[in-house]
Amino acid sequence: MKKIFLSLFILSSAMLFSQASVCGQFHRKYCGVETKHGKSDWLYNAQSKSGLFNMGSTSKIRCVIYKGMDYRINVCCESALGEKLNYKIFDARTSELLYDNATAQNASLFEFQSTASRQLIIEVSVPNGATSADKHKPMEAACVGLLIEHKVTDRQGFSQY
């Protein structure tokens, strides 16, 4: 009896682990921005996420940004979903729309400076429709990554004497 329970536990743990790791670190592998010299001032932000998205699905994530920091947000997906991945950034307190990549030709990369500490909501949407990667046959699901990076804002202007 103990062997049966142990076997079921191991099997269920393996299934949970495999489902969780389908897209686990997708954002770290595929959303990075290449630099000219191979070294970047940008630091990985632990609020970054990856997930399995169906066509037409939308997901939201809450993140905290801090005053005096620069942020870079990069959203990427498996090529089977095509190039049109939409995301919007809202102020979590007021629900004000701060950025919509649809107004910037669906740019995947967005950099900004934070003038105040606050919470944001990032909404990522995968549109419905056919993709060019698979001869116009819709995919059931594919990995989407949201990479958030940060660095201390560079000093500007004259320094104190």
Q: How does pLDDT run across 13-33, given as a tens digit for each residue?
A: 444 343 445 888 999 888 887
pLDDT band of residue 136 (cuts 50, 70, 90) is very low
Neighbours of 72 (CB within 10 A): 18
Q: What are phi and psi of 149, to 5 degrees?
A: -125, 155
pLDDT > 70 in the chain, percent: 73
Q: What are phi and psi of 143, to 5 degrees?
A: -80, 140
Give the mean pLDDT of the chain.
Answer: 80
pLDDT of residue 160: 58
pTM of the model: 0.75
7 is written with which tokens? 């076997």
CA angle 24, 30, 31 (to 5 degrees): 100
- Give the DSSP per-residue string, 23-51: STTHHHHHSPPP-SSS--S-EE-TT-EEE
Give yes or no for residue 111 having a pLDDT over 70: yes
- Residue corresponding to tokens 């910037």: 104
Query: Cα-Cα-Cα-Cα dihedral of 49, 47, 146, 33, to 10°?
Result: -120
Q: Domains of the chain by range and CATH? A: 25-152 (2.60.120.680)
